Amino acid sequence: MLGEFEYVLLTAAAGLGDKAYGAAMREEIEATTGRKCSLGALYTTIDRLEAKGLVTTWMSDATPQRGGRAKRMVRVTAKGIEEAKEFYDAVMRVSRGASWVVGKTGRA
């Protein structure tokens, strides 16, 4: 099963589609989670996901707005989508009845 950050990263990459690369994914993750995301954590997690066959990456052409540097593009594979969906379903199942879920009351 995926880890929490792996799921967040897969979701960000899937949401960005063809525009998924390091800086854009970091911005997306920081905006949605409200937490800082280091490039070290980002790129090592991308490597791990790639090793598991959940994403593919490739280097794009260099662009002037990046100081002539290339981007490392990320695309979620079919297996990655399947794993992310499994994680999401598991979180939804385990959350049923929890007090913080909208429309539910806690048992404690």
Partner 1 sequence: MVRLDWRVVEGAAGLLGCEDREAVLGDLVEAGEGAWRGLLDVLGLVVRRQAELWRSWRPWVAALGVALPFSFLLMGFSVSVSLGYRQVTLHGGWLGLAGRAVLLVVLAWASGFVVGSVSRRTLWVSVVATFSPCLFCLARFRIASLSRGCLLLFVLPAVLGVWWGLRGRTVGAGVGLMLALGASMGMGLWGGWWVNWFLVWPVWYLVVLGGGDEKAYPRG
Report if residue 44 touches partner 1, rule: CB under 8 A: yes
Q: How far apart are CA 36 and CA 76, in angstroms?
A: 23
Rg (CA), the chain: 16
Compare residues 44 and 95 and give the one whose CB is closer to partner 1. 44
Amino acid code (one letter) for 45: T
8, 12, 20, 26: residue in contact with partner 1 (rule CB under 8 A): 26
Cα–Cα distance for residue pair 92/95, rounded to 1 Å: 5
Binding mask of the shown chain, residues 60 to 79, with x at each position contacting partner 1 by CB under 8 A: --xx-xxx-xxxx-------
CA-CA-CA-CA torsion for 83, 98, 102, 81, nearest 10 degrees? 0
- The secondary element (H helix, E strand) that includes residue 32 is helix 22-33
With binding defined as CB under 8 A, does residue 19 bind partner 1?
no
Shortest Cβ distance from residue 87 to partner 1 (Å)?
23
Which residues contribute to the site for partner 1 (CB under 8 A)?
21-23, 26-27, 38-41, 43-44, 59, 62-63, 65-67, 69-72
